[in-house]
A and B are shown apart, each in its own frame.
Chain A
């Protein structure tokens, strides 16, 4: 494993390294501009990588992923608007610190914390993935189906404010993923007689529609006004290591929390940073300092949100389950290159797995260098008016979606799902369960049907196999969380 990782690291010198650099750089810019997101960038870049080697594609996309999560720090500090949702807790302390005239200091702490979080989760990725992958090799269709079910329940319950809405979004995604030819028998279904729908919806078209077009439409409906007077990261960019080291325990704790939250399917950086921030605040001897421009708050939030990247990659490369919504696009990237994410990826394509690990490591290092050197310049990029960016991004959406299959139908699908994403946002349906439901449907259905065929119609096999039964039990617990949760907390309150 270590030898393979080192060989892959050496092989990444050259084009992959350059692509990680470009990806991280553009990712930081997209992360920094409120309204643009990592998901949007990765979805838009995917068509470009069609003719590339898988390693080059992974290098660019993972670089963008790391960069976009980190870039959110800039606008969170300077504008009090999180560039990405994962930086939401950073605003609590980074903005007050910036308002006191220490913007550069807040940014430097955030950058180092992001780097620290990224490195801890990279260590987790490297050490946990092989173990989890060899364990997952023992899974049969019963376990895979139950795993997908528990993943969908988790996404639906943790991704939004309402379990019912999350479940509706997941079911709608699964139905969208069921359109067209059935993967086992090749028979048509749910195509309403339209010939163009027989091959189903192209995943990339749906992803570009949901992440890019829908988001851009929402930004037109509710435009954010940016006060460019705030964009001044004044002060020295340096910070004494001694000051940073005093937060090492918080950094470690938050990074571990971020990694664990990242592993949970579809939960993402925002939940990771919220959980880490509140944990640090409750453990602190001086909780009153949080929210007033305290360094510990920035460290907790930024280390946790960057740590979700490595955490989210663990279920992706070991079981083919997306840990975050960007991972959904990474799955699409692997599929585009005829690779199947899952436990066999480790066995059959170890170079790809090492490519993921090394891209993340290099992306983190490059992010640190770029952000420390470019703080002042990135601050200016945030001020680029959306008036000019929006049509350019829409042009790229159209070309990129068309390019994959040379199909205008895909462009229509992109437009339709863009409108659907806007409606979702307006009525409060979360997008994450929808796209993850879309991606996981073929896995869930194939495994369910295979399991039923293998057990000759005996559904009890799902419960007699221990791992499958455990997953189903967890799924049930999550489903009944709205009922069980208040009862447990009432009992705990009574006891205390």
Chain B
């Protein structure tokens, strides 16, 4: 309970900051020249205002919840969910980020970068078990070949 209140308060704060930044950006847009038009930024500004108002409502809701909170709900919080695999997720996101960077720069051929990404990803998810390496390599090779065949040859899609 307390965790969710904290995360919602952080979210609301972040959304208010985003809202203010968007409002400043919307101010930079040129004035509409179309006769009778409400303007290019009228609707976005309305939505930004709504975003800030809803975020404030969320903050108020959470402050009320925080006041009403009892010690029993704190106990409930402990038994909430399975332990998150945060490190694994961060590494997975970093792998995908690195893979997209490599594709964007175009320094490594598509098939090689995709094979390496797939291989490392499977290894990451299977906890780097040495006996898994051959299987990971095999599956990665087959997947890359199938993707190239299906997308490039069958559907004539341009690969990154």
Contact = CB atoms under 8 A, between A and B. Distances in A.
Interface residues of B, number: 65
A2 interface: no
Interface residues of A, number: 61
B37 A392 contact: no
Interface of A: 47-48, 50-51, 162, 164-165, 167-168, 171-172, 174-175, 178, 182, 184-185, 187-190, 192, 213, 217, 220-223, 386-388, 390-392, 394-396, 398-400, 402-403, 406, 408, 411-412, 415, 419, 426-429, 441, 444-445, 448-449, 452-453, 456-457
Interface in B77-109: 81-82, 84-86, 88-89, 92-93, 96-97, 99-100, 103-104
Secondary structure at the B interface, as helix, strand, loop or mixed, is helix
A394 B121 contact: yes
Contacts of B2: none
A48 B81 CA distance: 38
B26 to A, nearest CB: 6
7 contacts: A184-B32, A220-B88, A222-B82, A391-B117, A391-B122, A399-B147, A429-B11
Interface of B: 4, 7-8, 11, 15, 22, 25-26, 29-30, 32-38, 40-44, 47-48, 50-51, 54-55, 57-58, 61, 81-82, 84-86, 88-89, 92-93, 96-97, 99-100, 103-104, 114, 117-118, 121-122, 125-126, 139-140, 143-144, 147, 151, 155-160
Nearest to B10: A427
A189 B44 contact: yes
A429 B154 CA distance: 39
Contacts of A449: 37-38, 42-43
A400 B158 CA distance: 10
B102 to A, nearest CB: 11
Contact of A51 (B85, B121, B156): B156
B125 to A, nearest CB: 4
Contact of A395 (B33, B57, B118): B118
A190 to B, nearest CB: 5
B58 A165 contact: yes
A188 B50 CA distance: 22
